[in-house]
Amino acid sequence: MADAQLTAEQADFQEYAERWLAENAPPPPPERLPISAIEVMTTGQRDYLQAWQYRCWEAGLVGCDYPREVGGGGHEGFQRIANQAMAGARTPLLINIVGLQMAAPTILVHGTDEQKRKFIPGALSGEEIWCQGFSEPGAGSDMANQQTLAVRDGDDWVVNGHKVWTSLGHFAKWMILIARTSKHHKYDGLTYFLAPIEGTPGVTVRPLVKITGESGFNEVLFEDARVPDANRLDEVGKGWTVAMTTLTYERGAAESAGGGGSSQAHPTQRLIDLAKSSWRDGRSAADDPVTRDAIVQMAIVGEGIRQNGRRARVPALTEHPMRIPLQSKLLVSEFAQDVARLGVDIAGAHSTLYKLDPSAPDAGHWPLAYMGSYGHTIAAGTNEIQRNIIGERVLGLPKSK
């Protein structure tokens, strides 16, 4: 539907995006798709989602804001419109979430022209899956405590270390990797690499199984793995600064920079559908006043988050440019948790049925969403850390340490 605030060019693009999506709906998936891109587990899911991202990119709906020289559409402001159209059409998520939302925008800021031309097109098209190698067993919230070592050897760096919680690592061609290149400086001793993963000697990827029974993330071991110096992003010792650029995008400072997933769109409608097919006290849960009230509360919060996001695009409506963008990670992840908790509540005893049970309501979506939602308040930095960041950077409170 046309938006009164759009320019004529943007309105034309919106009309094109909506028409293209209506005419090019993807075929049904060969198997059940995960709720989010970081839970893609099987090659069947990967192939289907990769093919869909490629088609969207070819149609100009992914990477719209990127320069044409790097595989983008060259139209700033179009990605948001494409994302809304994808959400409205309820199309499958875009699989290359690390490539789109972290690697590509970071390379655009810090990369050489050669690196931009080499790495960004494959991230946008989804042909080259990316993963993120920031977390280690002893370096999560304290990200600067990286122990993975990279030692220069001729034109290469030799990497040794242990990364963990690496989403999509099992399908990744590339990793955005932070490694220690000097033991003498905590922050200035870090360097950022675009490390080859798939088929690289000395790199082992081992899946980790989550509470949901899915294994979208991994641990990645580096044992004398070689990374060419040509794959170093920015200067030696500037890894912390580059990582901050990545985290700014990951934590929501730009609305899905390259294009984003849409599988979690319209949660309220999904709750309403669930209530209509569930029973409470001998009648439809959709007729139960308590359930109806709880769904309405979710609808109000969801709409509030949406309207807040719109305010972020009008500089005059917020006194600090990062206030609303930095809130979005908190609001969206906690809202998803509340929605999933209500879904489990509405499904009642049936929410104990796993996704493989044919009697599971909504094909077992709600217990998976509920269990998975806790990971989303931890991933991309925990919500406690995000609150610290908002306190320090936006509210100007004293630093926590």
Ligand X SMILES: Cc1cc2nc3c(=O)[nH]c(=O)nc-3n(C[C@H](O)[C@H](O)[C@H](O)COP(=O)(O)OP(=O)(O)OC[C@H]3O[C@@H](n4cnc5c(N)ncnc54)[C@H](O)[C@@H]3O)c2cc1C
Residues 157-186, one symbol each (x = binds ligand X by CB under 6 A, - = not), give --------xxx-------------------
Q: Is 370 in the site for ligand X (CB under 6 A)?
A: no
State which residue, 215 or 318, has the beta carbon closest to ligand X.
Answer: 215
Please select the residue that binds ligand X; options are 338, 385, 389, 391, rule is CB under 6 A.
385
Interatomic CA distance for residues 210 and 214, integer angstroms: 6
Q: Is 207 in the site for ligand X (CB under 6 A)?
A: no
Residue from 82, 100, 99 nearest 91 by CA: 82
Q: Is 140 in the site for ligand X (CB under 6 A)?
A: yes
Shortest distance in whole angstroms from residue 140 CB to ligand X: 2
Q: 76, 250, 255, 303: which is the annotated catalytic residue?
A: 250
Q: Is 147 in the site for ligand X (CB under 6 A)?
A: no
Q: Is 218 in the site for ligand X (CB under 6 A)?
A: no
Interatomic CA distance for residues 354 and 305, integer angstroms: 30
What is the number of the residue whose Cβ is closest to ligand X? 140
Region of residue 34 (phi > 0: left; psi between -120 and 50: alpha; otherwise: beta): beta
What is the number of alpha carbons within 13 Å of residue 317 lying toward its C-beta? Answer: 10
Interatomic CA distance for residues 18 and 91, integer angstroms: 11
Q: Is 239 in the site for ligand X (CB under 6 A)?
A: no
State which residue, 269 or 400, has the beta carbon closest to ligand X.
Answer: 400
Site for ligand X in 265-294 (CB under 6 A): none
3-state secondary structure (DSSP) of residue 207: strand
Total number of residues that touch ligand X (CB under 6 A): 21
State which residue, 24 or 383, has the beta carbon closest to ligand X.
Answer: 383
Q: Which stretch in 3-11, 72-80, 317-325, 381-389 sits in contact with ligand X by CB under 6 A?
A: 381-389
Residue 219 is among the residues annotated as catalytic for this protein: no
Kindly state the tokens that stand for 89.
Answer: 């059409």
Q: Is 378 in the site for ligand X (CB under 6 A)?
A: yes
Interatomic CA distance for residues 306 and 265, integer angstroms: 11
State which residue, 165 or 240, has the beta carbon closest to ligand X.
Answer: 165
Q: Is 217 in the site for ligand X (CB under 6 A)?
A: yes
Are 311 and 317 within 8 A, CB to CB? Answer: yes
H-helix or E-strand containing 276? helix 267-276
Shortest distance in whole angstroms from residue 269 CB to ligand X: 25
Rounded to 10°, the helix 113-125/43-58 angle is 110
Q: Is 400 in the site for ligand X (CB under 6 A)?
A: yes
**Distance of alpha carbon 89 from its chain centroid, rounded?**
19
Please select the residue that binds ligand X; options are 233, 272, 324, 379, rule is CB under 6 A.
379
Beta strands in 57-173 (DSSP E): 130-133, 149-153, 156-164
Please select the residue that binds ligand X; options are 50, 91, 135, 248, rule is CB under 6 A.
135
Token pair 């989804």 is found at 126
Site for ligand X in 2-41 (CB under 6 A): 38
Interatomic CA distance for residues 214 and 60, integer angstroms: 32
End-to-end CA distance of the chain: 49
Q: What residues act catalytically?
A: 250
Chain residues that interact with ligand X, rule: CB under 6 A: 38, 131-135, 140-141, 165-167, 217, 375, 378-379, 381-382, 384-385, 388, 400
